[in-house]
Amino acid sequence: MAGFSHVALVEYEQEYCDCLKRNRPSWNVMCMDVRAFDGTPYCGHIDLLAGGVPCPPFSIAGKQLGNDDERDMFPQMLRLVGEINPRAVMIENVRGFLGSTFDGYRRSIFDRLNGMGYNLHVSLLNASDYGVPQLRPRAIIVGIRHDLFDSFEFPQKRDISGVTVGETLYDLMVARGRKQAGAWRDRANRIAPTLVGGSKKHGGPDLGPTRARQAWAELGIDGRGVASEAPEQGFDGMPRLTPRMLARLQGFPDSWDFGSKKTAACRMIGNAFPPPVAKAVGLQIKRALNSDLPLDLAV
């Protein structure tokens, strides 16, 4: 969406690989453990290395074991930066990564990236500032190689005061003729709580723990599960969201096909980096990499 062409995509879960190939058949999707991926053949040929390093080691919802967690993939990200030597690096993680608990580990990561030749820019971006009707703060690290003129700036916030859950999902809520959806839209007049994807260690799809479900209930949504279809014409009560609704709240286009399995779809959607935020950051990286050109000629 920001104009980059994908040379290679590495994904571990087979269902997620299938989803990527189903939606973008031309993409070079490598379904494998990133620890087995060799970046050296790509050295000197890549503008941007981007990755969403797994968040459980740093999430406040977990034990926050950081580099003591077997799921910590920052070492692999650093390895790939060294092997590929891209012009720019973008790493995404949860807000907890910026907390004082990880000051030492975070400093060691930044020192490694600086030592490999990158100027770093770090910020906490909220999805609701970039057109996504959801409270979703994420830590973003952008590195620009030292031999390039570094003009990178994080994207400006957008005014989306009129974007609410009700307005975003109204047409999907009335898709089967439900007449009470107007009142629901007026009630759901705020942005959504953070969507959660869960993991294989937990049960079926829902909208999070008790506190999160209470926040969804204030919007008139039943967060105890996910529905297969929109509420029918005579439905009375709090509706559940469908995977398509969740995807729209995450900023995915309606054309994106997540398959027919609710649990897998909800995990893919809930664990994703919202596309509008990724696009906003990606455009700024592209401009920085083309900083010797006028912005209207940058490609």
Give buried/exposed letters for 195-225 (b at 16+ CB in 10 A, else e): bbbbeeeeeebbbbeeebbebbeebbbbbee
* CA angle (208 as vertex; 103, 101 as ends), nearest 5: 10
Ranges of beta strands (E only) in 127-198 are 137-145
Q: Is 55 among the catalytic positions? A: yes
| Other CB atoms within 10 Å distance of the CB of residue 250 | 26
Q: Give the whole-angstrom CA distance, residue 45 versus residue 149.
A: 18
Beta-strand pair 48-52/118-126: unpaired
- Interhelix angle 262-270/14-23, rounded to 10 degrees, is 80
Give the side-chain half-sphere CA count within 13 A for 113.
Answer: 28
* Closest C-alpha among 293, 292, 287, 285 to residue 88: 285
DSSP state at residue 66: G
| Local structure of 50: helix, strand or coil | strand
Q: Give the whole-angstrom CA distance, residue 297 versus residue 299.
A: 6
Q: Which of 17, 19, 55, 266 is catalytic?
A: 55
Q: Give the whole-angstrom CA distance, residue 224 versus residue 205.
A: 8
* Active site residue ranges: 55
